[in-house]
Structure 1
Amino acid sequence: MTETRFLSKTDKYGITTTFGVVVMLLLFMASCGKDNKEVVEVTFDPENTYTMKATDVTSLISDSGITRYRLNAKEWLVFGKAEDPYWYFPEGIYVEKFDTLFQTEASIKADTAYHWDKKGLWKLIGNVEVESLQGENFQTSLLYWDQKEEKIYSDQYIRIEQEDKIITGIGFESNQDMTKYKIFNSQGTFPVNNTTPDSSRVNTAVADTTVVEVAKADSIKND
């Protein structure tokens, strides 16, 4: 009987002790869970928090079912939750346009680029360089490409190198193929073998007016 009572007493205390430990563990876990929840809470800024990141990007882009462009970028960030969703290329971008035989016929590059999908607008910044369909080279520090309006424009210094001459000015507007364009506040035309402005060489009238229209303007559309 003594042994039986001893075992009974031991079981009773054992159950009580185990129950107490379980309750303490549950309370401790609940407390820790609450603390962790407070730590991970952060403010989400959709305008400055990207929803996708890609590196060493090479992408082929189709137009009417035909591959027309190839895009290369070291880093591509997508801000898909922003009020006006946009793409950001912080380390530059290079785009080639192909002909029907997949030969490069035009290209564009810049140090930094933005693209707003809803607007159909590209903004290219820093050492922007364009090789056009006609073989002309365009250089500027800022360029906009409005795909909906099918035009390219800038309000910054522009340098256009043709086969035999260089044209410079402040402000520029063109069709998106860059085959017909206007230069605002033209600084003149210089022979390609002497790019240094010289009063004896400056020709303020552009020879080929069917391609280039020199115009004055107080301002140019900017975003």
Structure 2
Amino acid sequence: MRLNSLHSIYNIVIGISMTMFFSCNGNMKEVQKIGISDNEPIGIAEKINLKYTDSGRVTANLLSDKMLNFTNRDFPYYEYPEGIILHLYDEKNTKSTVVSDYAIIYDQTNLVDLQGNVVITTGDNRVLKTEQLFYDQKKQWIFTNNPVSFKSEKDIINGIGFDSNKDFTNAEVLEVNGIISVQD
């Protein structure tokens, strides 16, 4: 009788162990997520000085005090909570600069969202100021629906909304509410 009850306990333990063993599906992504909160970045970088090159020529230089990597999310992105300074260089090595207090780059849509004291200064001294600006990396298009101030060669144009290609060759303030002529 005692052997029979030990045999039953042994079978129960084996049954529970086998159930537990086969219930694990070996999902590596789930194992990697252990210890990482869904609200936490998978990486943090500080004091970034990233240089982009094309054919040995520096085309961009991104500076930021902090970058948070949220590419572990269903809609992956990189966040720059302390802002960015981005220097862009054209074929003639003319520098344009983009500055903002905050930035976020969405991987899937290739959209860059700049927020807070956004200022773009082009190599030919045109200046765009706004509180939020978007850049579509695929279409190479800059746009906003917020109030803007745009200093061109001859005027300072104030309005609501802005559209332009990345080179500012067809820059347009959408709803103009004031123009100030600039004299040399």
Q: Helix, strand or coil: the match of 1:84?
A: coil
TM-score, normalised to structure 1's length? Answer: 0.62
Provide Cα deviations, 1:16-56, integer angstroms capped at 9, x if missing partner.
xxxxxxxxxxxxxxxxxxxxxxxxx86731xx310110111
Q: Helix, strand or coil: the match of 1:185?
A: strand
Aligned with residue 44 of structure 1, among 31, 37, 42: 37
Equivalent residue number for residue 71 of structure 1: 62
How far off is 1:96 after superposition?
A: 0.3
Matched, 1:57 2:62: no
- Counterpart of 2:117, as a letter, is N
Would you tell me which structure has more strand in proportion to its own residues? Answer: 2
- Counterpart of 1:185, as a letter, is E
The 3 A distance-change label for structure 1 pair 44 and 191 is same
CA contact (8 A) 2:163 2:173 kept: yes
Matched, 1:172 2:124: no
Q: What is the percent sequence identity of the aligned residues?
A: 29
- Counterpart of 1:93, as a letter, is I
Could you list the runs of 5+ residues in structure 2 that have no partner in the other structure?
Answer: 1-33
Give the 5 Å matches for 1:1-223.
44-45=37-38, 48-63=39-54, 66-100=57-91, 103-192=93-182
Q: Helix, strand or coil: the match of 2:130?
A: strand
How far off is 1:105 after superposition?
A: 1.8
Distance of 1:163 and 1:67 partners within structure 2: 27
CA contact (8 A) 1:71 1:93 kept: yes
Question: Which structure has the larger Rg?
Answer: 1
How far off is 1:104 after superposition?
A: 4.6
The 3 A distance-change label for structure 1 pair 154 and 63 is farther
How far off is 1:148 after superposition?
A: 1.1
Equivalent residue number for residue 34 of structure 1: none
- Counterpart of 2:89, as a letter, is F
Provide Cα deviations, 1:133-157, integer angstroms capped at 9, x if missing partner.
4320000000000011221100000
**Count of residues in Structure 1 that have an aligned counterpart in Structure 2:** 150
How far off is 1:128 after superposition?
A: 0.2
The 3 A distance-change label for structure 1 pair 133 and 43 is closer
Could you list the runs of 5+ residues in structure 1 that have no partner in the other structure?
Answer: 1-40, 194-223
CA contact (8 A) 2:150 2:173 kept: no
- Counterpart of 2:163, as a letter, is E
TM-score, normalised to structure 2's length? Answer: 0.74
The 3 A distance-change label for structure 1 pair 79 and 64 is farther
Distance of 2:50 and 2:40 partners within structure 1: 23
Provide Cα deviations, 1:170-215, integer angstroms capped at 9, x if missing partner.
011111222212221111211237xxxxxxxxxxxxxxxxxxxxxx
Distance of 1:108 and 1:118 partners within structure 2: 22
RMSD: 2.0
